[in-house]
Amino acid sequence: MDINLIISYLRDITANNNREWFHAHKAEYDRARKEFEAAVEQLMAKITVFDPSIAHLTIKDVTYRFNRDTRFSPDKSPYKRHFGAYIAAKGKKSLHGGYYIHFQPGNCFIATGSYWLPTNILTACRNEIMANIDEWRKAVENGQFVKTYGYPGGEMADYTDESEMTSKGFGMVHLKKAPKDFPADYEFIDYLKMKDYCCWHRMEESDFTDDKWMTTVCKMFKIAKPMMDFTNAVIDDYE
């Protein structure tokens, strides 16, 4: 993968985010998009080795339109500033957790899990965590998970294309108090305060110049997979 070609184009569109420039440089977009999609397809093949549930997905199932939806946003820039792919067995619009990769100048990262879960599913996940706390802790408190993603905390609720992702994190949004009908003095209350079960790890552009970058990314995905499998077992009961 030519990461420099991808990042160079994304820098240019960030500086020239208008339709006139985009159409005048459509060939550059096509080259960058083709490079990105080829890399994602190769990554999907490697993920399939340890997660066969995503084997049926095509590149269209996991990628997004480059045009932004500006209807409800004060930012009327017509195009995104990144390329992203969400590799989830039940589709990119499902609640079922998956694997995400994000290329953006100065803000590349990977993520695993589910984001913005409805209250009823969150409640079910919280109950399941309490009922199987040893299994949950084994998934999220082992050395590899903590080193890669950290502990629950932080606040990325207002993340946008102009935000900088933190170096690592577990849970995009966290309640300040215990959720309703859950004991505030529960020993592992931080896991119940989470409003999503998504973890991420920020990466440098230089991390993608090495031919072994897919192996590194898959290793991080595999570290997070037990956590995602735990929550997906609950989520799938509702989908």
- The answer to whether 227 and 148 are in contact (CB under 8 A) is no
Residue keyed to tokens 């409805």: 118
pLDDT per position as a tens digit, 134-183 = 999 999 999 999 999 999 976 654 555 566 788 999 998 899 999 999 99
Per-residue pLDDT, 144: 98
> Alpha helices of the chain — where are they, by DSSP H?
3-15, 19-24, 26-50, 59-62, 119-131, 133-140, 143-149, 189-193, 213-235
**Which percentage of the chain shows pLDDT scores above 90?**
86
pLDDT for residue 69: 86
In angstroms, the CA 86 to CA 43 distance is 12
The widest CA-to-CA distance across the chain, in whole angstroms, is 60
pTM, two decimals, is 0.94
- According to the model, what pLDDT value does residue 134 have? 98
Asked if 177 contacts 185 with a C-beta cutoff of 8 angstroms, the reply is: no
Question: Are 170 and 148 spatial neighbours (Cβ–Cβ below 8 Å)?
Answer: no
CB distance 176 to 189 below 8 Å: no
